[in-house]
Amino acid sequence: METLSRYLRIWFASARYSLVRATMFRGDLFIWALVEFFWISVNVVMIGVIYSHTALVAGWNMYEMMILVGTSMLIQRFLMAFFWSGIFEMGRNVRNGLFDFILAQPGDPLFMASTRKLELDGLINSFVAASLVVYSAAKLGLRPGVGDIALYAAMVACGVVIHFGALVIAMSLAFWITSSQGVEGSYFTLMEFSRLPKEAFHRGLVSVVFVWILPAVVVSNAPARVLLHGFQASWAAWLGAATLCWFALSVLVFRLGLRRYTSASS
């Protein structure tokens, strides 16, 4: 408990600094929040255009698809708010030797590297994504119980952990390679598939890779199905196993990479 309390104090100190810095540059905060809102709006408009020509896509109607896309965006906005900036900067800091600063911090290097910044614009737009989910559920006449809502929130948290693990693995490759820019792009490409229903990957190698091996589909499909169909043990078990595996793998890759790190002073 003492260790947990210490890490919470460290996180709150970092979050407070990030909030103060964000309010000092309110123009930047407004512009980036607007950019993210525009990106969410473009996706919603695209869904509307697609469903103006068809009633179903892979068996999903328009509002079911909006719940899926909204869930995917909610997970990504939480990742952007709490972890993105710190993890993204990690690769650059490893290459230029500034990772020494992280190693000098009073905590686990992965925790210190990933939680250094809180991005308020991502946090603001998480409410926009959540509103899209609530609106779509209301249009479908869904009345999820307290248990379903709690399970949905837990599954969204699992999705954030899976995204976190995938991003840490991608950026940890900076310990071995000179530039990780191509790897960063592959992460975004992979996570684009999280906006598609599982039924779109119904056969062949694509199904094996994106449904069963990589976490792209499960992160959004599992929580969305809780709202649409209630608790399903197979999806909950699948998401839980994926969360544990990807988090453990990310920690392992980071620790192995850390052994190779050569500080700026050496």
| Residue 173 token pair | 């490759």
* Range of lowest pLDDT (119-123, 128-132, 159-163): 119-123
Mean residue pLDDT of the chain comes to 80
Q: If you average pLDDT over residues 35-64, what whole number do you get?
A: 80
| Residue 235 token pair | 């999806």
Residue 72 has pLDDT above 60, yes or no: yes
What pLDDT score was predicted for residue 181? 60
Calpha distance 87→115 (Å, rounded): 8
Calpha distance 116→175 (Å, rounded): 19
Residue 46 has pLDDT above 90, yes or no: no
Prediction pTM value: 0.85
What pLDDT score was predicted for residue 19? 73
Asked if 112 and 102 count as a contact pair (C-beta separation under 8 A), the reply is yes
Residue 143 has pLDDT above 70, yes or no: yes
Q: If you average pLDDT over residues 138-166, what whole number do you get?
A: 89
Please give the residue that has the higher pLDDT: either 246 or 5: 246
Helices and strands of the chain, counted as H and E runs: 12, 0
* pLDDT digit string, tens, across residues 170-214: 888 878 876 656 666 666 677 777 777 877 776 667 667 766 677
Burial, 27: exposed, middle or buried (Cβ in 10 Å; 0-12, 13-18, 19+)? exposed
Calpha distance 153→36 (Å, rounded): 22
* Range of lowest pLDDT (70-74, 130-134, 203-207, 247-251): 203-207
What residue ranges do the domains of the chain occupy? 2-260
What pLDDT score was predicted for residue 244? 93
Burial, 78: exposed, middle or buried (Cβ in 10 Å; 0-12, 13-18, 19+)? buried
Asked if 36 and 122 count as a contact pair (C-beta separation under 8 A), the reply is yes
